[in-house]
Amino acid sequence: MKYRHYAPRAPVILIEGDPQQVAKRLAELIDGYRVAGKRVGVLAYEETAGYYKQGEVVVAGKRRDPAGVASRLYSILRRFDELGVDVILAEGLEPAGLGLAIMNRLRMATGGNVIQVGAFGGV
């Protein structure tokens, strides 16, 4: 893949859609990976980070501050490498304005591992 160099060592799975549905699906995935003995990294936003009681949760910033998220995105992905996680589960961001660029970067990091759980909406 042309853009694979944007990806961290661990596989990334992007869960996108309504933030409440994303949080629910992501929590289910965390449980499944942990039962399988995997160390899970979670890329979350301030508004939903508290939903995740397990895993290595790294907060990307606020959903309403995509500029802040964009400025931290690559350092966050490198942080997961430092933590030695086996898989990274990433919350999606609404693909509008700068959020579109962030989602494009995240999609490149996934290598196609994207789960859609409904339309985007506010938290």
Q: Is the pLDDT of residue 6 over 90?
A: no
The pTM of the full predicted model, rounded to 2 decimals, is 0.90
Q: Specify the CATH number for the domain of residue 22.
A: 3.40.50.11030
Q: Is residue 123 part of a domain?
A: no
CA within 13 Å, CB half, 10:
25
Model confidence band, residue 111 (pLDDT cutoffs 50, 70, 90): confident
Question: What's the gap between Cα 44 and its chain centre?
Answer: 6
Q: Is 55 left (phi over 0), alpha (psi -120 to 50) or beta?
A: left
Q: Is residue 122 part of a domain?
A: no
Q: Is residue 5 scored above 60 in pLDDT? A: no
- In this structure, how many other beta carbons lie within 10 angstroms of the beta carbon of residue 67? 11
pLDDT of residue 121: 56
Counting the structural domains of the chain, the total is 1
pLDDT tens digits, 54-106: 999 999 999 999 999 999 999 999 999 999 999 999 999 988 999 999 999 99
d(C-alpha 119, C-alpha 22), whole Å: 10
Is residue 42 domain-resident? Answer: yes
